[in-house]
Amino acid sequence: MKAIGFYETGGPEVLKEIDIPEPMPSRNEITIRTSFTSVNNLDILMRSGGTKMNFSLPHIPGTDISGIVEKVGEGVSGIQEGDRVVSSTVYGCGDCRQCLSGNEVLCKSWKVLGMHVWGSYAEVVKIPSFMAIKPSKRYSMEELGCMPLSLSVSWRALKVAAKAEEGETAIIFGASGNSGLFSLMLAKAMGLKTIAVTRSEKKKEPLKKAGADHIVMYNPSENGAMQNEVLNLTGGEGAEIIIDPIGNPINSSIAMLRHGGRIITFGTSANPESSLSIKKFYWKSASLIGVHNASAKELSEAFIFAEKKGIKPIISKRLPMQEAAEAHRLFSSSETFGKILLEHKWK
Ligand SMILES: [Zn+2]
């Protein structure tokens, strides 16, 4: 079968067509014939070597997946060949207390599709069957191919970690990015007041359409214009929730946080490290919560909520898998607004 992968880390040009044997499902596993995937920051980090983790080469990236169940292993129930599915993004050891209680994301041996194992830039992908979700037919395969990672992590950040409540205010950093956009749409649908933060003037208008009540230009300095603007917008109080997929300096975030507020962090593209003023932190009774991925159960709940509220992904570009390098270039140029979809169409 065909896949796009890389034998060495580097620029988009390292992505090559690779022939690999089709995986066969073991007990409690299934294989999915991939219809669509989409480009996530994780794909870029893996390809460029930016994760700083050790992994064997060649590697096949790709965390999002929509497709059709190809083969079902022994012991699998509730999923059949031919089912239309998406996959959650993370699995654990399968045996620990967290895995057995549906919190695989908290397993100490967590692994992510396309990161620790080969992902959806391959024609056929093997996953533990519990990761497969049969979503509503109201979503097209194209839409489904760009939802799992961004939707589920945004859901976990807002619902599970921040315990967002209607009427609260959420600041969303990197609002025009994959998870930022889903966080914005989910927050709006949850009845939150939304302050979207972006680096690009050009993204202000589409962000407004996507649900931003206010838009603030990114400026990470601790006493800068961004903080003043947020404080003005919140009557001097700050926001209850900060959703941070980029790694804004933590003291700058605390400066914009209301007393008792929650900062949820799940990315480091702006800053891998950040120093924390412990005094400012506890004087505000602040909470800082890390999130990576979400469980299959959470993805399922997120889909139900998204469908009920009419949330659809914004797709900016659709390319064949053979043009994955171009898709990576586009993603890194930040010129697009919305997801970059990759279609498996070989012959
Ligand atoms: Zn486990």
Convert the pLDDT of each residue in 129-188 to its tens digit: 999 999 999 999 999 999 999 999 999 999 999 999 999 999 999 999 999 999 999 999
Question: For residue 279, what pLDDT is reported?
Answer: 95
The whole domain housing 317 covers 2-147+313-343
pLDDT, one tens digit per residue, over 200-224 is: 999 999 999 999 999 999 988 767 8
Q: Which amino acid is at 306?
A: A
CA of 29 to the centre of ligand 1 (A): 16
Is the residue at 57 inside a domain? Answer: yes
Q: Counting every residue, how long is the chain?
A: 347
Q: What are phi and psi of 198, to 5 degrees?
A: -140, 160
Q: Specify if 297 maps to a domain.
A: no
Q: What is the predicted pLDDT for the residue at 219?
A: 86
What's the 296 CA to ligand 1 centre distance in angstroms?
Answer: 14
Task: Based on the fold, state whether residues 42 and 108 are members of the same structural domain.
Answer: yes
> What letters, b where the CB count within 10 A reaches 16 and e where it falls short, cover 93-122?
eeeeebbeeeebbbbeebbbbbbebbbbbb
Same domain, 47 and 115: yes
Residue 199 has phi, psi (to 5 degrees) of -95, -15
8 and 132, same domain (yes or no): yes
Kindly give the distance from the C-alpha atom of residue 249 to the centroid of ligand 1, in angstroms, as a whole number.
32
Report the pLDDT averaged over residues 281-300.
Answer: 97
Separation of CA 100 and ligand 1 centre (Å): 7
Ligand 1 centroid to Cα of residue 105, in Å, is 8
**Taking a C-beta distance cutoff of 8 angstroms, is the pair 210, 173 a contact?**
no
Q: Which residue has the higher pLDDT, 261 or 220?
A: 261
pLDDT in tens, 24-33: 999 999 999 9
- Ligand 1 centroid to Cα of residue 101, in Å, is 9
Q: Tens digits of per-residue pLDDT, 318-341? A: 999 999 999 999 999 988 999 999
Mean pLDDT along residues 43-62: 94
Taking the centre of ligand 1 as the mean of its atom positions, its distance from the CA of residue 294, in whole angstroms, is: 14
Do 6 and 142 sit in the same domain of this protein?
yes
216 C-alpha to ligand 1 centroid (Å): 40
Tell me if the pTM is above 0.85. yes
Q: Are 71 and 36 in contact (CB under 8 A)?
A: no
b (16+ CB within 10 A) / e for 1-22: ebbbbbeebeebebbeebeeee
Give tens-digit pLDDT for 62-98: 999 999 999 999 999 999 999 999 999 999 999 999 9
Sorting pLDDT into bands at 50, 70 and 90, what band is 199?
very high
Considering the domain architecture, whether residues 7 and 141 belong to the same structural domain is answered as yes
User: 341 alpha carbon to ligand 1 midpoint, in Å?
Assistant: 31
Q: What is the mean pLDDT of the chain?
A: 96
Q: Give residues whose Cβ lies within 5 Å of ion ligand 1.
A: 92-93, 96, 99, 107
What is the per-residue pLDDT for 222? 67
Tell me the percentage of the chain whose pLDDT exceeds 90: 93
Residue 271 predicted with pLDDT over 90: no
Ligand 1 center–CA 206 separation, angstroms: 41
255, part of any domain = yes
Assigned domain for 223 exists: yes
CA distance 230 to 218: 11
Note whether 155 and 283 are same-domain residues. yes
Burial class (CB in 10 A: 0-12, 13-18, 19+), 302: buried
Cα 72 to ligand 1 centroid, rounded to whole Å: 22
Ligand 1 center to residue 306 CA distance, Å? 28
The number of distinct structural domains making up the chain is 2
Q: Which positions ≥6 away from 12 have C-beta within 8 Å? A: 47, 324, 325, 326, 328, 329, 332
Instruction: Give 143 Cα–ligand 1 centroid separation in angstroms.
Output: 30
> Rounded to the nearest whole angstrom, what is the distance from the C-alpha of residue 133 to the centroid of ligand 1?
20
Looking at the structure, tell me whether residues 7 and 143 fall in a common domain: yes
Same structural domain for residues 158 and 56?
no
Determine the distance separating the centroid of ligand 1 and the alpha carbon of 97, expressed in angstroms. 7
- Interval between CA 167 and ligand 1 midpoint (Å): 36
**CATH value at residue 56:** 3.90.180.10
